[in-house]
Structure 1
Amino acid sequence: MSAFRLARTATAVLLAVSGAALAAGPADAATPAAASASAHHYGHSYDGGVWGGYVAQGSGFRSVSGSWTMPQVQCNTANDLFAPWVGIDGYGSQTVEQTGVQVDCSSGSPVYSGWYEMYPAPPQYFNDPVDAGDSFTAGVVANGGGSYTLTLTDTTKGWTETTRQRLNAQNVSAEAVIESPSQSYPSFTSLDFSGITVNGRSFDAYSPQAIDSGQYTETALQNGAFSIVPAS
């Protein structure tokens, strides 16, 4: 990805992702007692967080999927928080349908957990074990009629979580990004996305644009793959 810093005018457009929609409650996920980051929403305020990744815009986005490996991180402050995720909507719309893995440093040490979010409903956390070095595949599918299937698989540990949710959404964008809604992220070397597809085609086919808030540097997207590193 070629990195660029979002201008304030572009950021203002992105504020359109914060809004209201109707979402069903989680059917098969639980919020851990230690999930202090649960107050943070992912994917709804591009100017209020730290960003890096790619977004495709248009209409008729029915599915997005991608893979990555969670890096080893070093917590710098208790406010450090970041997550890679894939999703539909969130850029120029009022909802986001998304799933990924977060690293939360509020305990003083990195805590990894899988999650999904049907914004504006809060994120829901899976109880499955997650560690640095685990490889993940995530996907969001729009089934039609406001129904969505979100799937997160830890291919290293061998678990899969699938949940079906409902949301009155528009399906006008698809993303593969990393985000820190706390505006503070732990130190890490690199995070590599691969195999990103949209509607069953390579992400490249949709001419996605880089989105970043200046704290990350992205490599060029090639065959549905790119890397993100903290900006120097």
Structure 2
Amino acid sequence: MHKFRTAAPTRAAAAALLALSCASLAGPAGAAAPSVEFGAHHFAQPLHGFSGDSNWGGYIAQGSFTSISGSWTMPQVTCNSSNDLYAPWIGIDGYGSQTVEQTGVQVDCSSGGPEYSGWYEMYPASPVYYNEPVDAGDVFTASVVDNGGGSYSLKLADTTKGWSKTTQSSLNASDASAEAVIESPTGSYPSFNEQDFSGITVDGQSFDAYNPQAIDSGPYTETALNGGSFSIIPG
């Protein structure tokens, strides 16, 4: 089994990747431009399998799915190094497929302290970041929906701050999995006490109905799934 990890790019490489992203990835009308301070980390190299530690942590179901929705609360984090980077997200695809349709929030420690931002990604295209404010303690709701014909709707809302973003995007994807997870593209997590997910539903049913697989990541593990809710805690 191969563990997929994305090495942290140099600042020059990140800038070059971001420039290419801005030139080649035209977002939908009204979408925010990618945020320059966060570079161009990919938040989901497809995960074909794992052995012990993984770059994804949480729950993944395999099957044929067209929608996922749910909520989470952003924890207060402590940066251990400037390489720390992590994101909670929900999405479709990525486990046993070469695409991922996803939306979430990231915490980036490259400036020396935690910086939060919302984003969506239609992998293998680069993530697109929202400019709206995000802080520890904020509650988020999100959804990813396959509308058919390669069209997807991705919604991320910060219910604490009162903002919401809905993006329409297209991708030739297979809808082969559904996931509610955390991820560190750099393989380096900041410290936090608890990351809560709640009300995760897939195709209108509780996530539990699909017997999703639990996967640990870095220093973190997940509690038992109960009614579409679980927590990520230090393992």
- Partner residue of 1:53? 58
Distance (Å, rounded) in 1 between the aligned partners of 2:172 and 2:46: 19
What is the identity, as a one-letter code, of the residue corresponding to 2:80?
N
User: Could you tell me how far apart the structure 2 residues matched to 1:90 and 1:55 are?
Assistant: 10
Whether the 8 Å contact between 1:50 and 1:184 is mirrored in structure 2 is no
Measure the CA separation in 1 of the matches of 2:74 and 2:45. Answer: 22
In structure 1, the gaps of 5 or more residues are 1-8, 16-22
Gaps of 5+ in 2: 6-23
Q: Residue 223 of structure 1: which of 205, 222, 227 is its match?
A: 227
How far, CA to CA, are the matches of 1:106 and 1:87 in structure 2?
A: 25
Is 1:124–2:124 an aligned residue pair?
Answer: no
Shift in Å, 1:50? 2.9
Partner of 2:171: 167
Is the contact between residue 46 and residue 98 of structure 2 (CA under 8 Å) also seen in structure 1?
A: no
Q: Select the residue among 83, 86, 98 that pairs with 2:87.
A: 83
Counterpart position of 1:205: 209
Matched, 1:68 2:66: no
Whether contact under 8 Å (1:89, 1:173) holds in the other structure is yes
Quote the sequence identity (%).
Answer: 67
Q: Where in structure 1 do 4 or more consecutive aligned residues deviate above 2 Å?
A: 45-51, 212-215
In structure 2, what is the Cα distance between the partners aligned to 1:123 and 1:136?
A: 18
Deviation of 1:42 (Å):
1.2
Counterpart of 2:13 in structure 1 is none
1: CA distance, partners of 2:84 / 2:134:
18
Greater relative contact order (Cα 8 A, min sep 6): structure 1 or 2?
1
Letter in 2 for 1:52: G
Q: What is the aligned counterpart of 2:100 among 96, 102, 112? A: 96
CA distance in 1 between counterparts of 2:152 and 2:232 reads 28
**How far apart are 1:214 and its partner, in Å?**
4.9
Q: Give the TM-score taking structure 2 as reference length.
A: 0.85
Is 1:33 the counterpart of 2:41 in the alignment? no
Cα drift, residue 131 of structure 1 = 0.4
Task: Output the TM-score relative to the length of structure 1.
Answer: 0.86
Distance in 1 (CA, whole Å) between partners of 2:141 and 2:115 is 19
What residue in structure 2 maps to residue 138 of structure 1? 142
Per the TM alignment, residue 211 of structure 1 is displaced from its structure 2 partner at its CA by 1.8
Cα pair 2:46 2:96 within 8 Å, conserved: no
SS at match of 1:205: helix
What code does the residue aligned with 1:26 have? G
Deviation at 1:31, TM superposition (A): 1.0
After superposition, the C-alpha distances for 1:92-124 in whole angstroms (9 at most, x for unaligned) are 000000000000000001000000000000000
Alpha-carbon RMSD across the aligned residues, in angstroms, is 1.9
